[in-house]
């Protein structure tokens, strides 16, 4: 019953979190093989109380492996996919390289686990903001299909990888000393600032990150007609993404129906008690797997509309935990 698991891009933020989640969830591991570029070979990474040594990611590195968890960028994922397939392993990939490929299931286990059965060697892990948002919405979508969604994101610096939080903290430190700081990870200073660009720009004026919410949302929810307008903004928060979502359902739902849908949605926690100042906040959702949902209220611009606010840890449910959950389906 045990599986041999490789983590491709093991030294990154998501790769290390995947190993943490594998251990926490008691994944039945035979061999764990962390893979990274040549200059990380021999580096020891934590796996529970143990240490495992990083091996070089080469085309021959997947022999004997059952599942490869991909935590690398698109180019690395594409470069190694053929070798992974040839080795007979299933590639659960967190990059965006294969997400919209019709032959590749795109999975949030709570929503469309059934789609994973049709894989042909690759299963894609969705975009982090898309995961957090759809986790909040899918049980509502089951009550009455969501027709349109307007979303504004508040995305943590961890979304840029392990160097994102490092740059934010280094900037805060430099500013406190009155020293100059040249941003490398982000386009501009992110400390005490907001950057309304994540990813590159496409022809329609949206960024690649913004279009993922519609493109991936349609595939995951089996809703090819879903219309989404998204604005993605980087904020000086360490780790959890937050989303302000206003959506219109086919039929009018009551606030109580929507709250009940969220309350009973696996992987969600309803945190919606404004009178007691209880609502989701990124600080409270970091380092755990639940997506917190609150501020549920009638959209004042549409009788069938609802507005809500949700937060989730983008490194965990937004990436590593979701990937390990997919591996558990196999």
Distance CA 314, CA 69 (A): 17
Stretch that binds its own copies, among 3-11, 126-134, 216-224, 237-245 (CB under 8 A): 237-245
Site residues for its own copies, 15-34, by CB under 8 A, read none
Mark residues 123-162: x for contact with its own copies by CB under 8 A, - for none: -------------------------xxx-x-x--------
237 binds its own copies (CB under 8 A): yes
227 binds its own copies (CB under 8 A): yes
Distance CA 94, CA 127 (A): 8
Sequence-ordered list of residues with C-beta below 8 angstroms from that of 299, at least 6 positions apart, any chain = 246, 247, 248, 305, 306, 307
192 binds its own copies (CB under 8 A): yes
204 binds its own copies (CB under 8 A): yes
In the chain, which ranges are continuous DSSP H helix? 13-24, 74-87, 109-112, 128-143, 163-176, 208-221, 255-263, 282-285, 321-329
Nearer to its own copies, 55 or 208 (CB): 208
Instruction: Assess contact for 19 and 44: CB atoms under 8 A.
Output: no
Distance CA 44, CA 208 (A): 35
Mark residues 251-280: x for contact with its own copies by CB under 8 A, - for none: ----x------------------xx-x-xx
241 is catalytic: yes
The one among 160, 185, 296, 326 contacting its own copies by CB under 8 A = 296
Nearer to its own copies, 90 or 243 (CB): 243
175-206 burial: b if 16+ Cβ within 10 Å, else e = eeeeeeeebebbeebbbeeebeebeeeeeeeb
Sequence-ordered list of residues with C-beta below 8 angstroms from that of 282, at least 6 positions apart, any chain = 154, 156, 237, 238, 239, 240, 241, 242, 311
The one among 31, 118, 120, 188 contacting its own copies by CB under 8 A = 188
Nearer to its own copies, 63 or 297 (CB): 297
Distance CA 323, CA 107 (A): 9
217 binds its own copies (CB under 8 A): no
Q: Which residue has the tokens 């960024």?
A: 207
The helix/strand/coil state of 131 is helix
Count of residues interacting with its own copies (CB under 8 A):
56
Provide the minimum distance between the beta carbon of 54 and its own copies in the complex, in angstroms, as a whole number: 30
Name the active-site residue from 119, 128, 141, 268: 128
Stretch that binds its own copies, among 13-21, 30-38, 56-64, 229-237 (CB under 8 A): 229-237
The one among 67, 97, 195, 221 contacting its own copies by CB under 8 A = 195
Instruction: Assess contact for 299 and 307: CB atoms under 8 A.
Output: yes
236 binds its own copies (CB under 8 A): yes
CB count within 10 Å of CB 31 equals 13
CA distances to 19, 71, 73, 323, 330 from 89, in Å: 18, 16, 19, 15, 11
Name the active-site residue from 119, 141, 232, 241: 241
235 binds its own copies (CB under 8 A): yes
CB count within 10 Å of CB 2 equals 10
Provide the minimum distance between the beta carbon of 141 and its own copies in the complex, in angstroms, as a whole number: 15
The one among 174, 302, 304, 329 contacting its own copies by CB under 8 A = 302
- Kindly list the catalytic residues: 128, 241
Binding site for its own copies (CB under 8 A): 148-150, 152, 154, 172-173, 176, 187-189, 192-197, 201, 204-206, 214, 227-229, 231, 233, 235-238, 242, 244, 246, 255, 274-275, 277, 279-283, 294-302, 305, 307, 309, 311
């Amino acid at each position: 019953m045990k599986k041999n698991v490789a983590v491709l891009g093991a030294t990154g933020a998501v790769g290390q979190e995947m190993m943490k989640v594998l251990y926490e969830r008691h994944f039945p591991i035979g061999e764990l093989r962390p893979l990274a570029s040549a200059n990380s070979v021999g580096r020891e990474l934590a796996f529970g109380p143990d240490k495992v040594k990083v091996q070089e990611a080469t085309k021959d590195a997947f022999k004997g492996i059952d599942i490869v968890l991909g935590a690398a960028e698109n180019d690395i994922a594409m470069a190694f996919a053929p070798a992974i397939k040839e080795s007979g392993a299933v590639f659960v990939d967190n990059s965006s390289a294969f997400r919209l490929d019709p032959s590749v299931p795109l999975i949030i286990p709570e929503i469309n686990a059934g789609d994973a059965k049709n894989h042909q060697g690759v299963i894609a892990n969705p975009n982090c903001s898309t995961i957090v948002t759809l986790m909040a919405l899918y049980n509502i979508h089951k009550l009455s299909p969501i027709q349109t969604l307007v979303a504004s994101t508040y995305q943590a610096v961890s979304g840029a990888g392990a160097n994102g939080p490092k740059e934010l903290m280094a900037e805060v430190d430099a500013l406190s000393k009155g020293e100059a700081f040249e941003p490398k990870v982000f386009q501009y200073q992110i400390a005490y600032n907001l950057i309304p660009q994540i990813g590159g720009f496409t022809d329609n004026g949206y960024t690649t990150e913004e279009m993922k919410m519609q493109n991936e949302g349609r595939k995951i929810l089996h809703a090819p007609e879903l219309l989404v307008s998204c604005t993605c903004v980087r904020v000086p928060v360490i780790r959890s993404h937050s989303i302000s979502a206003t959506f219109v359902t086919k039929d009018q739902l009551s606030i109580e129906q929507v709250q009940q849908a969220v309350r009973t949605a696996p992987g969600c926690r309803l945190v919606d008690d404004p009178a007691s100042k209880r609502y989701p906040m990124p600080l409270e959702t970091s380092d755990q797997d639940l997506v917190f949902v609150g501020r549920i209220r009638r959209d004042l611009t549409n009788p069938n509309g609802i507005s809500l606010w949700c937060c989730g840890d983008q490194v965990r449910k937004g990436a590593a935990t979701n990937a390990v959950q997919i591996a558990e389906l196999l």
